Amino acid sequence: MAGNAKILVVDDEHSVRWAFEKALQKAGYEVMLAENGIKGLSLFESFKPDITLVDIRMPEMDGLQMLKRVREIDSEAQVIVMTAYTDMETTITAMKLGAYDFLSKPFNIDECLLLISRGLNSKKSRVEAEIATQAPKSSALKGNSPAMQEVYKLIGKVSEEDVTVLITGESGSGKELVAQAIHYNSGRAAQPFWAINCTAINESLMESELFGYEKGAFTGANNSKPGMFELAQGGTIFLDEIGDMNLEMQAKLLRVLEEREIVRVGGNKRIKVDVRLVAATNKDLRRSIVENRFREDLYHRIKVIEIKLPPLRERPEDISLLARYFCSLLAAQRKGAPKSISEEAIAVLSAYSWPGNVRELRNAIEQSYTLSRDQVILPEHLPAEIRLKSDHEITLPETAAITENHPPKVPQETQAKEEDLPETSEPAKIGEIETDFEIERAIKSIVSVSLQTATSGSAYSEVMEKIERELLYQSLEKHKWNQVQTATYLGITRNTLRSKIEKYGL
């Protein structure tokens, strides 16, 4: 098909046009080039390309304006938009305007050729919803990584389609922000958005919260009260952590979704409701179905479209953007001169695995912003658990306890010889380490032994994980495995502690 296909490239950078011209001609395509949107639009009408590649930021007529005009001329036109400045609103707008796909600069030419080939072979109908007259409402959902670009594309595609959406992802990854982005980019944007966390509402109150109740329905019901389905009439309801909803409530929710009407608690009148449901969970619902904790029919009803939100550790390139964004939010909220975050602190943040995801990052920035006396947040201002997991300066606790019962485990065949170890006193016991000097010598000994078995290229993480595992184990033992007390003692959140317990199999 390449021999007959015509490709139009519209970009104000000469080097980009030149590179595409050489690569596409070599691949057998007929190529036309334009340096701005006005010339590109003229060529589109005369050249009638099979695929059009358009840069977003151009003088006179930008890529989104050209995309809109092109789709007005030919609603089936396949347009790939390109930009070095990827953000959520631009991506969503481009997808809503009917873009076939989105390319982030700098890009790999082989990937571009593959995308063009896929577009040329696509026979799917590309009828899109009407173009919104206003720009999408901004959202706190941030990220320019490829993983987030895929999320934005799905948001753009499903926003105008009034279908039920299931958002899956780890706790703290921003599932409610995705739900808000769907709502505020949909035809229901002017109507209410109501969110409810299924784990935060007592099971006995869930029905009345969702469907409302009539006067006298139960003790204390002195007046009738509408539920969320009535309050969100015409808008969107977001049910967070739907996997924690009990089976009885699941059955009632399924009936409402199928019949589009509710009955208040204590009432008998059927009330028509027009709402869009967006649900979210951090659980494996298929596994819950097997374990008889979630209804399979409800699962298929809420999972018309699924959006999988990636954890922060899978998109580390977004950490810098998010950290600076949270700093700017705090600067706007707080009194005094605004604070910024240093590149060194960004590097420390980027080296951390973020088990608590974006929520943990935001809390870390807020803590650092609050405690820092300087105008710039430095690595030493960051929480201790984050510094411990970075490749930068490590701040050790002022006191430590090493026991005979739980020494670092070293494979028998690779244990270091006694003469290889630095001179130390006899193994330390609880209560015998009384000075910083002795602590330092003990740590040197542990690290020396651990390095004997460490793998080149990952020695840092392997050694630190051994130390962290023992610190967690002894702290849990000290507090009789009470997670709340242990987390408070260590100065970390309970969610962070839980994730580390799972990580180390404690």
Residue 71 makes CB contacts below 8 A (sequence gap 6+) with 77, 79, 97, 98, 128, 131
Q: Is the preceding omega at residue 338 within 30 degrees of 0, hence cis?
A: no
Cα(201)–Cα(18) distance, integer angstroms? 60
Cα separation, 228 vs 225, whole angstroms: 10
Q: Coil, helix or strand for 96?
A: helix
* CA gap 389, 394 in Å, rounded: 8
pLDDT of the residue at 350: 92
CB atoms within 10 A of CB 417: 7
Q: Using CA atoms, how far apart are residues 273 and 228, in angstroms rounded to an integer?
A: 10
**pLDDT per residue over 392-421, tens digit each?**
443 333 333 333 334 444 344 334 444 444
Residue type, 143: G
pTM: 0.56
Contact 242, 197 (CB under 8 A): no
154-188 confidence digits (pLDDT tens): 999 999 888 999 999 999 999 999 999 999 999 99
Give me the pLDDT at residue 129, please: 28
Handedness of CA 163, 164, 170, 175 (dihedral sign): positive
Q: What is the mean pLDDT of each run of 10 residues along the chain (506 residues)?
A: 78 90 89 93 92 89 91 89 75 83 78 79 38 39 89 91 94 93 92 89 84 85 87 94 94 94 92 96 95 95 95 93 91 84 90 93 94 84 84 38 39 41 42 52 71 73 82 87 84 79 81
Question: DSSP assignment, residue 245?
Answer: S
Closest CA to 113 of 43, 47, 40, 19: 19
Q: How far apart are the first and last CA of the chain?
A: 58
Note the pLDDT of residue 2: 54
- Per-residue model confidence (pLDDT) at position 337: 78
Q: Count Cα atoms within 13 angstroms, Cβ side, for 282.
A: 15
Task: Tell the residue number behind the tokens 């003469």, with chain if given.
Answer: 419
The reported pLDDT for the residue numbered 163 is 93
DSSP for 172-237 reads: TS-HHHHHHHHHHTSTTTTS-EEEEETTTS-HHHHHHHHHEE-TTSSTT--S-EE-HHHHTTTSEE
Report d(CA 71, CA 73) in Å as an integer.
5
Q: For residue 145, what is the DSSP state?
A: S
Kindly list the strands in the beta sheet with 305-308, ordered across the sheet, starting from the edge strand earlier in the chain: 193-197, 236-240, 276-281, 165-168, 305-308
**Domains parsed from the chain with CATH numbers:** 6-121 (3.40.50.2300), 147-310 (3.40.50.300), 315-388 (1.10.8.60), 412-504 (no CATH)
pLDDT at 220: 72
Question: What is the rounded distance in angstroms from the CA atom of residue 34 to the CA atom of residue 8?
Answer: 8
CA distances from 188 to 94, 141, 184, 346, 444 (A): 20, 19, 7, 38, 62
Element (H, E) at 307: strand 305-308
In 3-state terms the chain splits into helix, strand, coil percentages (rounded to 5) of: 45, 15, 40
Closest C-alpha to 281, from 150, 163, 179: 179
Phi-psi region of 475 (alpha: psi -120 to 50; beta: other; left: phi over 0): alpha
Cα–Cα distance for residue pair 419/42, rounded to 1 Å: 80
pLDDT at 393: 40
